[in-house]
């Protein structure tokens, strides 16, 4: 400080010397508060090593970033809808015994719930792929690291995926190996693990995994390799299927190389040992387990042969009954068990082949290519369809001959006319009740009485005339003129209504109440006619034939329509018709005589339509009803053509190929079963007929038929009327058969003769011989033999012309 001279105050002095900076001692300070020594600078390579602070900061940052990215991934990656390939399934069609008919759909997969997979098969899959599945999360980090290391070491691509990840890959993603797909797999797996139970994940995995042989899912694999359901797999079989998950084609012991087979065995042992280690298989059982028998690869049956017809008919049944729509069925996953008996189905196929196709030679006889067979066999008590033949091969001929409705039924419809007459108490034109012994005029071309408009005058098969015959004889020999009058006596609408009651669909084409209705102008299917005759065989109780026994989808059964039973006609009517139809077979002159070779009580009826475009035989025993038809169809145009000439036979008839197929099939189908008899109609067997025909009225007013001595068919007769005159078959009798009796005279009018006053017994032993020319009668008979022209068919109504010559 210095004193100011003027003021005497002290003022601060200023030191102008340079200031010296404080320097930290190199040795530091001692004691509290002493300064620490300075850290030497990092030089050279040391500068590259992060400090612990930097490391900690980096780890925390990485952790936060990872959590952020994980949260972002969880938020952004959604569980997508399962892709189509993972959800596509086949529909499995089964016989009544559970054996497979075929599978339809592009993917051979049939999803099953986990309870439909045997525990042994479940444990085998876990032992092979993920033993800690039930105790771990969706992702196994240790496995992923191990897989990455092994892959880096050149030991092949390693999965390291849990079952959950594999399920996600199979169901939601592609099989492409990429980082993007793997990242998505991880996130989706975590989400799936959080929303689905372990059992659901395991079930999904087993149903989406590929096992080779085109089989997706364990159910399809069990069928492909062992022919059994997944629920029946034992430890050895389950372990083998688990082995296939690793390398399906390479480990298929039926086709693999020697090295591949050994690798499969090694892997199989690995799986079983894993099951023992995890406590899923005892050591004792493991020691007894041997490598399973693996079936050879089976060709995919597809829709070839009869399979397509069965699938088509079953599909029609399901969709028309409202059980399931075609769209839903196409999605797949259904197991449909049919009522088809595999043994009888094979017997029907063999019978058609042996009795028809083996006799044809389209290369030499072009007409042989026109023959199309259809057949259906029904259990009359239950209505179950036990066998169905739709054609030579579904992939070659897509139209199902068993269910098509475009060919006339011919004289098989006469059984319906009989049922209508008896059920409705039909009376003749002069008021007498119709019975099997009612006598009708069997003259070919006879004009029907009682109708409106121009009289209907149908010719008989081959223009044969039979004179006065009983109704029993008219059915035996399939006489058109008699049945045209019977239908008029009954009422045409009543004939139609009875047909519907017996089982014909109400919309059957040609099912109109016109004079031609009893001769089969309508076009029901072979299946429809089997149902009608099944009603007769079942005491008049009608059950619509059914084909589907059960429908199941992933363990859930679908309800099916109830099989309702209705009393269509009385039991006595049904038994009476059945009794009369036995004469068609047992009568040596009956049109269905070939079926007698079955050696059992048989009732049936033949049918031959106009120009022989279709021929039929529908017959039954007390146990089984079978309908067989042969249709003439041009293979090029699809037009209906005559069957005459097929097999080198001139002419065609229901008593030929159809009856032969029927007999051969029924022999096989009923082999070993006890023989039973039909029920006897109330009041006795009316079909037995009279020993002799009733005589005509004592004072006839018309001119009797001439030159027609009555005679029964000779014992050696082989070709009854209406059965055609094929190659090697004798011509129809000309009236020289043995046992001739006095011929019945023609009736005084164009109506049946009087009924006998008492019921005769014994089937008629006499058979009127066809006359060479109908007797001229200006009031009731045509003066010349009618032809198929318009004049002969006038008044027949819709379909009359087409069925005018319908016969045996």
Residues in CB range of 246: below 8 A, 6 or more apart: 128, 267
SS3 345: helix
Least confident of 183-187, 283-287, 581-585, 712-716: 712-716
Exposed / middle / buried, residue 66 (Cβ in 10 Å: 0-12, 13-18, 19+): exposed
pLDDT for the residue numbered 402: 97
- The sign one gets for the Cα dihedral 280, 282, 285, 289 is positive
pLDDT for the residue numbered 158: 41
Helix residue ranges per DSSP H, 161-282: 163-172, 179-195, 198-208, 218-226, 235-244, 258-277
Q: Which residue has the tokens 């059945």?
A: 578
Each residue of 326-352: b (16+ CB within 10 Å) or e? Answer: eeebeebbbbbbbbbbbbbbebbbebb
Q: Are 695 and 744 in contact (CB under 8 A)?
A: yes
Bridge-based pairing of strands 541-542 and 566-567 is: antiparallel
pLDDT > 90 fraction of the chain, expressed in percent and rounded = 53
Q: Which residue has the tokens 């005084």?
A: 748
pLDDT for the residue numbered 462: 87
Residues in CB range of 482: below 8 A, 6 or more apart: 440, 441, 442, 469, 471, 474
Which DSSP letter does residue 669 get? H
pLDDT for the residue numbered 330: 76
Helix residue ranges per DSSP H, 635-772: 657-669
More confident residue, 536 or 775: 536
Q: Are 661 and 356 in contact (CB under 8 A)?
A: yes
Residue 444 and residue 466: Cα distance in Å, rounded?
8
More confident residue, 693 or 440: 440
pLDDT for the residue numbered 801: 36
pLDDT at 760 over 70: no
Q: Are 419 and 569 in contact (CB under 8 A)?
A: yes
Q: How far is CA 362 from CA 351, 475, 530, 656, in A?
A: 19, 35, 30, 19
Tell how far CA 36 is from the center of its chain: 97
More confident residue, 132 or 527: 527
More confident residue, 216 or 565: 565
Residue 549 and residue 339: Cα distance in Å, rounded?
5
pLDDT at 724 over 50: no
- DSSP code string of 6-18: TT--EE-----SP
Binning pLDDT at 50, 70 and 90, where does residue 99 land?
very high
How confident is the model over 375-428, as pLDDT tens digits? Answer: 999 999 999 999 999 999 998 888 899 999 999 999 999 999 999 999 999 999
Closest residue by Cα to residue 376 from 408, 399, 348 = 348
Least confident of 77-91, 153-167, 606-620, 788-802: 788-802
Residue 636: both structure tokens together: 């090029």
- The sign one gets for the Cα dihedral 190, 194, 198, 201 is negative
Quickly count: other Cβ atoms within 10 Å of residue 172's Cβ.
Answer: 20
Residue 71: both structure tokens together: 């949260």
Q: Are 588 and 715 in contact (CB under 8 A)?
A: yes
Closest residue by Cα to residue 332 from 90, 83, 84, 82 = 90
722: left (phi over 0), alpha (psi -120 to 50) or beta: left
Residues in CB range of 463: below 8 A, 6 or more apart: 444, 445, 785, 786
Residue 591 and residue 662: Cα distance in Å, rounded?
14
Give the DSSP H or E segment for 151. Answer: helix 141-152
Q: Are 514 and 799 in contact (CB under 8 A)?
A: yes
pTM: 0.68
| Average of per-residue pLDDT across 770-786 | 33
R_g of the chain, CA atoms, integer Å: 44
Binning pLDDT at 50, 70 and 90, where does residue 509 land?
very high
| Average of per-residue pLDDT across 325-348 | 90
Q: How far is CA 438 from CA 424, 426, 699, in A?
A: 15, 11, 19
pLDDT at 364 over 60: yes
pLDDT for the residue numbered 41: 63
SS3 227: coil
Least confident of 58-72, 620-634, 674-688: 58-72
SS3 376: strand
Bridge-based pairing of strands 100-104 and 108-109 is: unpaired
Binning pLDDT at 50, 70 and 90, where does residue 712 land?
very low
How confident is the model over 606-638, as pLDDT tens digits? Answer: 999 988 999 999 999 999 999 999 999 999 888
Quickly count: other Cβ atoms within 10 Å of residue 670's Cβ.
Answer: 18
pLDDT for the residue numbered 43: 62
Give the DSSP H or E segment for 577. Answer: helix 571-586
Three-state SS string over 694-717 comes to CCCCCCCCCCCCCCCCECCCCCCC
Closest residue by Cα to residue 114 from 231, 9, 216, 222 = 231
Q: Are 473 and 486 in contact (CB under 8 A)?
A: no
Which DSSP letter does residue 451 get? -
Q: How far is CA 121 from CA 110, 115, 127, 274, 663, in A?
A: 16, 11, 10, 13, 48
Please tell me the number of Cα atoms within 13 Å of 485 on its side-chain side: 32
Residue 90: both structure tokens together: 């086949």
Query: In this structure, what are the phi and psi dihedrals at residue 337, rounded to the nearest 5 degrees?
Result: -95, 125
Q: Are 548 and 322 in contact (CB under 8 A)?
A: no
């Amino acid at each position: 400080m210095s004193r100011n001279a003027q003021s005497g105050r002290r003022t601060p002095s200023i030191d102008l010397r340079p200031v010296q900076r404080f320097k930290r001692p190199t040795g530091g300070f001692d004691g509290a508060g002493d300064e620490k020594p300075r850290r030497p600078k990092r030089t050279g390579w040391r500068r590259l090593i992060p400090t612990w602070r930097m490391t900690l900061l980096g780890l925390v940052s990485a952790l936060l970033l990872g959590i952020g990215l994980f949260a972002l991934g969880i938020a952004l990656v959604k569980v997508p809808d399962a892709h189509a390939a993972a959800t596509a399934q086949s529909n499995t069609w089964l016989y009544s015994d559970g054996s497979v008919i075929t599978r339809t759909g592009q993917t051979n997969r049939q999803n099953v719930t986990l309870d439909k997979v045997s525990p042994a098969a479940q444990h085998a899959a876990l032992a092979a792929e993920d033993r800690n599945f039930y105790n771990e999360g969706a992702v196994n980090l240790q496995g992923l690291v191990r897989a990455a290391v092994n892959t880096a070491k050149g030991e092949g691509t390693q999965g390291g995926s849990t079952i959950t990840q594999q399920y996600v890959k199979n169901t939601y993603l592609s099989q492409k190996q990429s980082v993007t797909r793997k990242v998505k797999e991880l996130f989706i797996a975590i989400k799936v693990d959080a929303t689905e139970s372990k059992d659901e994940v395991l079930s999904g995995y087993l149903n989406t995994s590929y096992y080779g042989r085109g089989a997706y899912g364990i159910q399809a694999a069990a069928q492909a390799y062992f022919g059994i359901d997944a629920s029946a797999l034992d430890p050895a079989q389950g372990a083998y299927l688990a082995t296939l998950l690793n390398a399906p084609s390479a480990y298929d012991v039926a086709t693999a190389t020697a090295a591949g087979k050994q690798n499969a065995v090694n892997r199989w042992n690995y799986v079983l040992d894993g099951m023992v280690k995890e406590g899923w298989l005892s050591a004792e059982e493991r020691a007894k387990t041997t490598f399973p028998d693996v079936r050879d690869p089976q060709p995919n049956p597809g829709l070839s042969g009869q399979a397509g017809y069965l699938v088509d008919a079953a599909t029609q049944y399901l969709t028309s009954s409202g059980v399931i729509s075609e769209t839903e069925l196409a999605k797949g996953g259904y197991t449909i068990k049919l009522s088809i008996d595999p043994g009888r189905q094979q017997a029907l196929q063999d019978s058609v082949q042996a009795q028809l196709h083996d006799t044809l030679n389209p290369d030499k006889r072009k007409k042989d290519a026109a023959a199309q067979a259809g057949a259906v066999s029904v259990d009359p008590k239950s209505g179950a369809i036990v066998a169905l033949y739709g054609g030579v091969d579904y992939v070659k001929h897509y139209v199902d001959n068993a269910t098509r409705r475009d060919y006339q039924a011919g004289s098989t419809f006469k059984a319906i006319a009989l049922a209508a007459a008896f059920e409705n108490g039909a009376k003749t034109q002069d008021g007498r009740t119709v019975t099997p012994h009612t006598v009708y005029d069997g003259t070919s071309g006879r004009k029907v009485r009682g109708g409106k408009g121009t009289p209907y005058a149908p010719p008989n098969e081959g223009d044969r005339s039979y004179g006065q015959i009983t109704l029993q004889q008219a059915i035996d020999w399939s006489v058109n003129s008699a049945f045209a009058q019977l239908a008029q006596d009954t009422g045409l609408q009543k004939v139609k209504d009875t047909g519907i009651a017996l089982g014909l669909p109400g919309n059957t084409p040609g099912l109109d109440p016109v004079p031609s209705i009893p001769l089969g102008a309508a076009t029901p299917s072979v299946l429809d006619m089997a149902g009608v005759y099944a009603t007769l065989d079942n005491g008049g109780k009608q059950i619509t034939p059914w084909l589907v026994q059960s429908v199941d989808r992933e363990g859930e059964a679908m309800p099916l329509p109830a099989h309702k039973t209705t009393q269509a006609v009385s039991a006595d009517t049904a038994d009476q018709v059945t009794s009369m139809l036995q004469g068609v077979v047992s009568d040596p002159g009956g049109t269905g005589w070939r079926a007698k070779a079955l050696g059992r009580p048989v009732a049936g009826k033949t049918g031959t339509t106009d120009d022989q475009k279709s021929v039929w035989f529908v017959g039954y025993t007390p146990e089984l009803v079978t309908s067989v038809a042969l249709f003439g169809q041009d293979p090029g145009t699809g037009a209906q053509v005559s069957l005459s000439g097929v097999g080198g036979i001139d002419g065609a008839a229901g008593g030929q190929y159809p009856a032969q197929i029927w007999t051969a099939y029924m022999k096989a189908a009923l082999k070993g079963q006890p023989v039973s008899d039909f029920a006897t109609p109330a009041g006795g067997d009316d079909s037995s007929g009279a020993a002799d025909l009733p005589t005509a009225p004592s004072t006839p007013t018309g001119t009797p038929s001439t030159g027609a001595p009555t005679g029964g068919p000779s014992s050696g007769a082989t070709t009854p009327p209406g059965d055609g005159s094929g190659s090697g078959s004798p011509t129809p009798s000309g009236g020289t058969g043995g046992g001739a009796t006095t011929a019945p005279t023609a009736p005084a009018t164009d109506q049946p003769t009087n009924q006998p006053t008492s019921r005769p017994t014994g089937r008629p032993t006499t058979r009127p011989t066809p006359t060479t020319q109908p007797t001229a009668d200006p009031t009731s008979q045509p003066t010349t033999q009618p032809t198929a022209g318009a004049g002969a068919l006038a008044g027949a109504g819709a379909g009359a012309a087409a069925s005018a010559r319908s016969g045996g």
